Each structure stands twice: as structure tokens, then as C-alpha cells.
Amino acid sequence: MLASVERIGLQEPITVRPLGEPSKGRYGVFKGQRRWLAAVAAAKKAETKGKPVAKIPAFVREDLGGADSEALLLSLVENHQRAGMTARDTVNGAAQLELLGANEAERRRAAAILGMNRQQLKAAKQAADTGRVA
């Protein structure tokens, strides 16, 4: 991905949300983190070579400023639907939902969206806790 981003720039926007006070202008990536990391690495390379640095296209979701569990769920949905998402990715995402303190309704919704039942979501969290993920 890095080679592609270096050659043609980031073609698909990332999605970000405000972090902390909106007036501070800080945003966090919740969809497209690998694209963002590639764009940042490409920008650093361009800077060291004295070349122009490409801007990173982004969608800003102002409505998700304090909604950690919703932002994580949207990230998981995107990753779950892409080819190559591993069982470890799903398990780690489920564990993150638990760590964020998602309520039972959020957990059930996440399980349904990810094609899991509530027991599978619990098992995923336990597997992540114990490090027993293939």
C-alpha cells in the first residue's frame, strides 16, 4: 500500500472524528487507519526528499465526537467486510468493545452486525484476554 500511496496519493478518504474539545482541532482516525499510516509514511519520505507532501482526504464525523463504542463498531464493520480480516482482528475488536465499556444493547448490536451471537462476542473477549487467538 505504501508504494501505491507514494506514487498516486491516497485515493480513498479516511474517516475521522473529533477528539476532546472541538476547538482544539484534534481528530482521530476510526476508518482507514492503514491508509492513514501509509499516507503519513509517504509524507515523511516526501519531506526528506524535499518533495511536496500530499494532503490526506478525510470524511469528518462530527456526530461521533464522544461515541467511542460507535466509532469502534463502524471501524470493525469496515474491517469485517474487507477481504483478509482475520479471526484475531475480530477477537481484538470485540475485546476493545468490552474495554470501552459498551453497554449490553451496544454489545448485542455489535454482535448482530458482525454476524456473531452474544456468546461468540463474549468468547472473543475471553480469547483476547487469555491470548488464545489463532
User: Which of 65, 91, 119 is a domain's end point?
Assistant: 65
Report the C-alpha gap between 68 and 53 in whole angstroms: 30
> Tell me, what's the pLDDT at 45?
94
What's this model's pTM, rounded to 2 decimal places?
0.57
Per the structure, the complete domain to which residue 17 belongs is given by: 1-65
Q: Between these two residues, 30 and 91, which has the higher pLDDT value? A: 30
> Tell me, what's the pLDDT at 46?
94
Q: What is the torsional sign of CA 23, 71, 15, 87?
A: positive
Of the candidate ranges 37-41, 53-57, 126-130, the one whose mean pLDDT is the lowest: 126-130
Q: Between these two residues, 46 and 70, which has the higher pLDDT value? A: 46
The domain spanning residue 32 has which CATH number?
Answer: 3.90.1530.30
Residues 1 and 54 both lie in one domain: yes
Q: Give the orientation angle of helix 104-113 with respect to helix 87-99, to 10 degrees.
A: 160
Angle at 94 between CA 113 and CA 10, to 5 degrees: 75
Task: Please state, in angstroms and as integers, the Cα–Cα distance from residue 4 to each residue in 7, 39, 67, 81, 104, following that order.
Answer: 5, 10, 32, 22, 41
What is the count of structural domains for the chain? 2
Residues 96 and 127 both lie in one domain: yes
